[in-house]
């Protein structure tokens, strides 16, 4: 007879407690508790560096049935601080799998919990907002409840954290262009996903992935035709260094494309503010309006911060980069989901157009970026 897993408990900073069973690695983990609404793609979610520092709750109740494989990983490891699921699959049923989810969680040391009412936790976070939490299993599950709560409340809040250095490459890497080569693209790795690099290379860019600490001189050393800022974890207000470098990029009139964290840093470079959302957008079913076409796209998101900007009409960049407009708007809550500069070759979106787990409604943005760069090269050659 198979024994049940050891007890585990999820403790939120407001004192809320949920008792379940240990899953993955055993021990203690702390982070910001957030929920992700994707019905599939848990492997891509877990290996997305943007989730560093966060304990991710899956709203889909049944997780792990397709196991884990070597092809769908988005980075070199699992980055979530912890994992919360309701019903982990006891059987792996996919011909591509070479390990179970539980095995990889243990391998990467990810303390997780199962068997709790994830719907109740989600409803609580939607009402009270994302907050610090901790998962305690093994010996830690037996700690006094007040001691567990004290440990959670002493953990750092997500606001004010700069986490890019934890997830970025330490040395530059290069992904060769596929097909007709356009030129070198400088990608500042703030937590980039493999699918993003594959999409950029497929458009003819020789993709140079640079550490998050790179200077403008480092970027220019590869003779780039454009610059790309990736997604990533943390608070954009704590990334002054990357904002300063981006302003040098914009001053040099280099074409720019940013996604997710790269959208927030673009907003800051333009002189706009950012703020923390109550519970953020995380999942692969977020409706966004492309204002240029009137088309509604279902998109993949993972962000807890957003840019402050007027939704309607154009406005002048407070930092002096000419006219700017909000290009995309989230239809659930009217959050800014994209920015487009009208007087310099630069734009960004708050969501993930690579969406390796789907959907692919926004994949055209990589083509839009390629076309922008080709047009910029043609303009410079004509002068």
Cβ pair 79, 45 in contact under 8 A: no
Give the whole-angstrom CA distance, residue 16 versus residue 84.
15
Residue 298 neighbours by CB distance under 10 Å: 15
Distances (CA, A) of 196 to 183, 231, 350: 17, 10, 14
Residue 288 neighbours by CB distance under 10 Å: 26
Cβ pair 289, 329 in contact under 8 A: yes
Instruction: Name the token pair of 197.
Output: 């690099």
- Interaxial angle between packed helices 194-202 and 364-382, expressed in degrees from 0 to 180 and rounded to the nearest 10: 50
> For the chain, first and last CA: distance in Å?
78
Strand (E) or helix (H) holding 21: strand 17-24
The reply to whether 208 belongs to the active site is no
Give the whole-angstrom CA distance, residue 253 versus residue 255.
6
The reply to whether 354 belongs to the active site is yes
Q: What phi and psi values does residue 350 have, to the nearest 5 degrees? A: -85, -15
The reply to whether 303 belongs to the active site is no
Give the whole-angstrom CA distance, residue 64 versus residue 56.
14
> Distance between alpha carbon 239 and the CA centroid of its chain, in Å?
15
Give the whole-angstrom CA distance, residue 258 versus residue 340.
11
**Among 44, 206, 260, 328, which one carries the catalytic annotation?**
260
Q: Which residues are catalytic?
A: 260, 352, 354
């Amino acid at each position: 007879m198979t024994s049940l897993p050891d007890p585990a408990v999820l403790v939120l900073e407001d004192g809320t407690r949920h008792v379940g069973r240990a899953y993955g690695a055993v021990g203690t983990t702390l982070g910001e508790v957030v929920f992700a609404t994707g019905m599939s793609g848990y492997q891509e979610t877990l290996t997305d560096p943007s989730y560093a520092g966060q304990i991710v709750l899956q709203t889909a109740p049944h997780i792990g049935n397709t196991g884990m494989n070597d092809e769908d990983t988005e980075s070199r490891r699992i980055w979530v601080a912890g994992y919360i699921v309701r019903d982990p699959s006891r059987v792996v049923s996919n011909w591509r799998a070479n390990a179970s989810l539980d095995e990889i969680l243990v391998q990467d040391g990810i303390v997780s919990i199962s068997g709790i009412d994830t719907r109740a936790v989600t409803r609580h976070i939607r009402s009270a907002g994302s907050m610090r939490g901790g998962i305690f299993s093994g010996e830690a599950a037996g700690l006094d409840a007040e001691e567990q709560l004290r440990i959670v409340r002493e953990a750092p809040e997500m606001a004010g954290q700069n986490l890019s250095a934890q997830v970025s490459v330490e040395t530059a890497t290069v992904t060769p262009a596929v097909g007709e080569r356009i030129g070198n693209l400088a990608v500042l790795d703030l937590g980039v996903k493999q699918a993003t690099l594959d999409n950029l290379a497929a458009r003819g860019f020789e993709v140079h992935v640079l550490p998050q600490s790179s200077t403008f001189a480092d970027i220019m050393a590869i003779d780039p035709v454009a610059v790309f800022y990736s997604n990533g974890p943390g608070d954009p207000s704590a990334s002054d260094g990357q904002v300063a470098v981006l302003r040098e990029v914009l001053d040099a009139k280099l074409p720019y494309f940013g996604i997710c964290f790269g959208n927030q840093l673009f907003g800051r470079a333009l002189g706009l503010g950012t703020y923390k959302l109550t519970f953020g957008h995380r999942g692969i079913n977020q409706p966004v309006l492309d204002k240029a076409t009137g088309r509604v796209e279902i998109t993949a998101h993972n962000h807890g911060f957003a840019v402050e900007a007027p939704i309607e009409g154009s406005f002048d960049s407070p930092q002096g980069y000419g006219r700017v407009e909000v290009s995309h708007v989230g239809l659930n809550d009217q959050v800014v989901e994209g920015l487009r500069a009208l007087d310099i070759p630069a734009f960004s979106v708050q969501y993930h157009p690579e969406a390796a787990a789907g959907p692919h409604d926004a994949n055209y943005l990589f083509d839009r970026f390629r076309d922008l760069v080709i047009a910029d090269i043609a303009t410079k050659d004509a002068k």
